[in-house]
Amino acid sequence: MSHNPSTDVNVNAPDSHEVDADIVIAGGGPVGTALAHALAPLARLGRSVMQITDAAPGATRPQSEDRPIALSWGSRLLLERLGLWNAPAASPIDRIHVSQQQQFGRTIISASDHDVEALGYVVSYNELCNALPPSSVAAQVQGSLQEWSKEGRIVTCRIGTPDGQNRIVRTRLLVLADGGRGRLDEDHVKDYRQSAVTCTINADRQRPGTAWERFTPEGPLALLPFRNRTTQRDQLAVVWSSATTSADKLIALDDAQFLAALQQAFGGRAGIFSNPGPRSAFPLSLRMRRHIADAGVIAIGNAAQTLHPVAGQGLNLGLRDAWELAEILLADKHEPGSAATARQYRERRQADRFAMTRLTDLLVGSFSLPWPGTGVVRGAALAFLDAIPPARRLLSRRMMFGARNFP
From the list 196, 210, 169, the residue with the least C-alpha distance to 22 is: 169
The contact mask relative to ligand FAD for 64-93 (x = CB under 6 A, - = no) is: ---x-xx-----------------------
List the one residue out of 259, 264, 290 whose CA is nearest residue 277.
259
The footprint of ligand FAD on residues 272-301 (CB under 6 A) is 282, 301
Closest contact distance (angstroms) between CB of 253 and ligand FAD is 18
Burial (Cβ within 10 Å: 0-12, 13-18, ≥19) of residue 3:
middle
Shorter beta-carbon distance to ligand FAD: residue 118 or 303: 303
Among positions 129-168, residues that touch ligand FAD (CB under 6 A) are: 144-145
Long-range contacts of 372-377 (CB under 8 A, 24+ apart): 375/100, 375/102, 375/103, 376/103, 376/104
d(CA 334, CA 232): 49
Please tell me whether residue 220 binds ligand FAD under the rule CB under 6 A.
Answer: no
Instruction: Kindly state the smallest distance separating residue 47's Cβ from ligand FAD, in Å.
Output: 21
Residue 200 has phi, psi (to 5 degrees) of: -115, 155
Q: Which residues contact 390 (CB under 8 A, 6 or more apart)?
A: none
Q: Distance (Å, rounded) from C-alpha 322 to C-alpha 33?
A: 9
Q: Give 72 or 103: the residue with its C-beta nearer to ligand FAD.
A: 72
Query: Beta partners for 170?
Result: 156
Q: Which of 28, 74, 276, 277 binds ligand FAD (CB under 6 A)?
A: 28
The span of 52-60, 102-110, 203-211, 398-406 binding ligand FAD (CB under 6 A) equals 52-60
* β 95-100/106-110 pair status: antiparallel
Contact between 175 and ligand FAD per CB under 6 A: no
Q: What is the closest distance, in whole angstroms, from the C-beta atom of residue 372 to ligand FAD in the complex?
A: 31
C-beta closer to ligand FAD: residue 25 or 270: 25
Q: Using alpha carbons, list the distances in angstroms from residue 187 to 61, 318, 361.
A: 27, 17, 16
Q: Write the binding mask 330 to 369 for ligand FAD: x where contact by CB under 6 A, - elsewhere.
A: ----------------------------------------
Question: Which position among 84, 239, 262, 298 is part of the footprint of ligand FAD (CB under 6 A)?
Answer: 239
User: Interface with ligand FAD includes 54 (CB under 6 A)?
Assistant: yes
> Which one of residues 99, 316, 360, 368 is an interface residue with ligand FAD (CB under 6 A)?
316
The site map against ligand FAD for 106-135 (x = CB under 6 A) is -------------------x----------
Residue 198 contacts ligand FAD per CB under 6 A: yes
Interface residue with ligand FAD among 91, 302, 357, 396 (CB under 6 A) is 302
What string of H, E and C letters represents the secondary structure of 311-324?
HCCHHHHHHHHHHH
| Choices 84-92, 201-209, 305-313, 324-332 (CB under 6 A): range interacting with ligand FAD | 305-313
Contact with ligand FAD (CB under 6 A) among 94, 178, 213, 324: 178
Shortest Å, Cβ 388 to ligand FAD = 26
Q: Which of 314, 375, 402, 407 binds ligand FAD (CB under 6 A)?
A: 314
Q: Which is nearer to ligand FAD, 329 or 356 (CB)?
A: 356
| By the rule CB under 6 A, 196 interacts with ligand FAD | yes
Contact call for residue 31 and ligand FAD (CB under 6 A): yes
Residues that bind ligand FAD (CB under 6 A): 1, 26-32, 52, 54-55, 67, 69-70, 125, 144-145, 177-179, 181-182, 196, 198, 239, 282, 301-303, 309, 312-316, 318
